[in-house]
Chain A
Amino acid sequence: MSFPRIAVRRPWRLAAEASALLIAVVVAFPLYWMVLSAFEPAGEIESTEPRPWTLSPSLDSFRRVFGQREFGRYFLNSLVVAGSVVVVSALIAFLAATAVTRFRFRFRTTLLVMFLVAQMVPVEALTIPLFFLMRDFGQLNTLGSLILPHIAFSLPFAIWMLRGFVKAVPDALEEAAYIDGASRARFLWQILFPLVFPGLVATSVFSFISAWNDFLFAKSFIISDTSQSTLPMALLVFYKPDEPDWGGVMAASTVMTIPVLIFFVLVQRRLVSGLGGAVKD
Chain B
Amino acid sequence: MTTQEAVAERAPVTGRAPARPRRRGAGPTPWLHLAPALVVLGALLVYPVYQLGLISLLNYTQAQVSGGEPTTFAGFGNYTALFADDQFWQVLAATVVFAAACVLSTLAVGCALAVLLTRVRALPRLALMLAALGAWATPAVTGSTVWLLLFDPDFGPVDRVLGLGDHSWTYGRYSAFALVLLEVVWCSFPFVMVTVYAGIRAVPAEVLEAAALDGASQWRIWRSVLAPMLRPILVVVTIQSVIWDFKVFTQIYVMTNGGGIAGQNLVLNVYAYQKAFASSQYGLGSAIGVVMLVILLAVTLVYLRLLRGQGEEL
* Cα distance, A25 to B134, chains bound together (Å): 12
- Flag if A16 contacts B119 (CB, 8 Å): yes
Q: Which of B26, B119, B148, B200 contacts A8 (CB 8 A)?
A: B119
- Flag if A126 contacts B304 (CB, 8 Å): no
Q: How many residues of B contact A (CB 8 A)?
A: 116
* Cα distance, A69 to B300, chains bound together (Å): 45
A260/B300 contact (C-beta < 8 A), A3-B201, A125-B292, A246-B149 known:
no
* Cα distance, A251 to B17, chains bound together (Å): 60
- Residues of B contacting A: mostly: helix
Tell me whether B88 is interfacial, beta carbon within 8 Å: no
Tell me whether A11 is interfacial, beta carbon within 8 Å: no
- Contacting residues, chain A, for B124 (C-beta < 8 A): 16-17, 20-21, 24
- CB-CB nearest 9 A-B residue pairs: A125-B289, A276-B198, A129-B51, A152-B44, A99-B33, A124-B269, A96-B37, A103-B30, A129-B48
Tell me whether A273 is interfacial, beta carbon within 8 Å: yes
Q: With CB as the reference atom, state the residue of chain B lying closest to A281.
A: B232
Tell me whether A6 is interfacial, beta carbon within 8 Å: yes
Tell me whether B132 is interfacial, beta carbon within 8 Å: yes
- Contacting residues, chain B, for A87 (C-beta < 8 A): none
A–B Cβ pairs within 8 angstroms, 22 of them? A4-B205, A4-B209, A27-B131, A27-B186, A28-B135, A29-B150, A30-B138, A30-B143, A46-B155, A96-B33, A120-B299, A121-B293, A122-B293, A152-B45, A155-B37, A181-B3, A244-B148, A250-B149, A257-B139, A273-B198, A279-B195, A279-B233
* Cα distance, A179 to B119, chains bound together (Å): 48
A156/B41 contact (C-beta < 8 A), A17-B121, A133-B48, A279-B199 known:
yes
Tell me whether A48 is interfacial, beta carbon within 8 Å: yes
* B218 → A minimal CB distance (Å): 7
The A12-69 residues at the B interface (CB cut-off 8 A) are 12-13, 16-17, 19-21, 23-25, 27-31, 33-34, 37, 45-50, 52
Q: Mark B134-161, 1 if CB is under 8 A from A, else 0.
A: 1111111111011111101011110010
* B102 → A minimal CB distance (Å): 15
Tell me whether B309 is interfacial, beta carbon within 8 Å: no
- Flag if B117 contacts A20 (CB, 8 Å): yes
Q: With CB as the reference atom, state the residue of chain A lying closest to B291.
A: A125
- Residues of A contacting B: mostly: helix
Interface residues of A (CB under 8 A from B): 1-4, 6-8, 12-13, 16-17, 19-21, 23-25, 27-31, 33-34, 37, 45-50, 52, 91-93, 95-96, 98-100, 102-106, 108-109, 111-113, 116-130, 132-133, 148-149, 151-153, 155-156, 159, 171, 174-175, 178-179, 181, 183-184, 209, 212-213, 215-216, 220, 231-232, 235-236, 239, 241, 244, 246, 249-250, 253, 256-257, 260-261, 263-265, 268, 271-273, 275-277, 279-281
Q: Mark B158-180, 1 if CB is under 8 A from A, else 0.
A: 00100000000000000000000
- Flag if A30 contacts B150 (CB, 8 Å): yes
Q: Which of A2, A29, A111, A156 contacts B205 (CB 8 A)?
A: A2
- Flag if B133 contacts A265 (CB, 8 Å): yes
Tell me whether B94 is interfacial, beta carbon within 8 Å: no
* Cα distance, A100 to B33, chains bound together (Å): 9
- Contacting residues, chain B, for A276 (C-beta < 8 A): 195, 198-199, 201-202
Tell me whether B297 is interfacial, beta carbon within 8 Å: yes
- Contacting residues, chain B, for A249 (C-beta < 8 A): 145, 149
- Contacting residues, chain A, for B1 (C-beta < 8 A): 183-184
Tell me whether B128 is interfacial, beta carbon within 8 Å: yes
- Flag if B26 contacts A106 (CB, 8 Å): yes
